[in-house]
Structure 1
Amino acid sequence: MAENTEKALASYLTFTLGDEYFAAPIQRVREVLEMQPITRIPKTSAFARGILNLRGNILPIFDTRLRFGLETVIDSPKTRIIVLEINYQKESLLVGAVVDNAWDVVQYSSDEITPPPSLEDYKNAVFVEGILKLDEMFVMLINVDKIFSPSEMDTLTEMT
């Protein structure tokens, strides 16, 4: 009897923030939008860019650069909003993540994913669930459910 050596592949949408590459599971990506005007809400977290109208629904938008502790930049024609589905308290919430550029959908098997470093300096990057090697660069695999703390999720929920 022949052993099945095919490995299950998972698909990820890759995106960039500066020179760094990230990837989100494609099953959690609802769509990718071109940048559009965002309505700012006063007295929200610095990473909360505001809201926009997505086909009659309020979509909270966050600045991924600020959330990940990177410096801010001016939006460019390549700036995109990735609409992510985040699970929180047994509910599903759509949020928009502003990224420098959305790239391709790539497929990897689980044995190609390396766990993130367990060093003390990396403990705050709980949203990085693994690292993929793509050619000569590393791609950080994001767990979308861990991007925000519970209090930050409460803030995003209130925005909707």
Structure 2
Amino acid sequence: MSAMVEQDKSKNPGGEDEMEVLTFNLHGEVFALEATKVQEILDVLPETRVPGAKRFVDSVINFRGRVIPLADLRLAFGMEATETTIDSRIVVIEIDLRGETTLIGLRTDKVNEVTTLAMTASEPPPSVGMRWRPDFIQGLFKRGGEFIILPNLQAIFAENDAPAAGASRSIN
């Protein structure tokens, strides 16, 4: 089962003080991705391990006839890798890496919802007591009694030697 994330990249429904995001879980924490970066949400697909690759991006998947890297943000944040469950999903995102637009699959434990976060609810990560690298966090959002973590994908992929931009190729 796959679900297309419908979006109009030219409009921000809530204005500049709000951001539309897709929320998902990793190891009991709630994370978010800007909805404009999300291309598709997929059930877990067969993956091919890449010999000699770093654990963070150690396999590839076939996404609509293209080979794209599959990354595990849990490893970037120092969490344990976990087995897939019935709720596990792959979120395919499109980001700019090394000056080129690149498709990357991200493993998630569970996809929650598309929602809007108020930018005024965002705070920088605290400089003391964080178990994660502050440069890997673009912002922390307070919503109700929980925190939602917006990862800094550019910093994470730069640090973890993401595959070269344009690494996706067609499968014949």
Question: 2:25 maps to what in 1?
Answer: 16
- Aligned pairs for 1:79-118 within 5 A: 79-118=88-127
Q: Post-superposition shift, 1:42?
A: 0.5
Partner residue of 1:65 out of 53, 74, 77: 74
- Are residue 143 (structure 1) and residue 138 (structure 2) matched? no
Change (3 A) 1:86 1:137: same
Structure 1 runs of 4+ off > 6 angstroms?
none
Q: Distance in 2 between matches of 1:115 and 1:91?
A: 28
Instruction: Check the 8 A contact 2:102/2:166 in 1, yes or no.
Output: no
For normalisation by structure 1, the TM-score amounts to 0.86
Matched positions, count: 154
Partner residue of 1:36 out of 24, 42, 45: 45
Question: 1:74 maps to what in 2?
Answer: 83
Rg (Cα) greater in structure: 1
Identify the range of structure 1 (112-121 vs 133-142) with the bigger mean alpha-carbon deviation. Answer: 112-121
Partner residue of 2:55 out of 37, 46, 60: 46
CA RMSD of aligned residues (A): 2.2
Which ranges in structure 1 are unaligned for 5 or more consecutive residues? 1-5
3-state SS of paired residue (1:152) = coil
Q: Distance in 2 between matches of 1:16 and 1:123?
A: 16
Change (3 A) 1:74 1:156: farther
Percent of paired sites with the same residue? 31
Q: Post-superposition shift, 1:120?
A: 7.9
Q: Distance in 1 between matches of 2:29 and 2:53?
A: 27
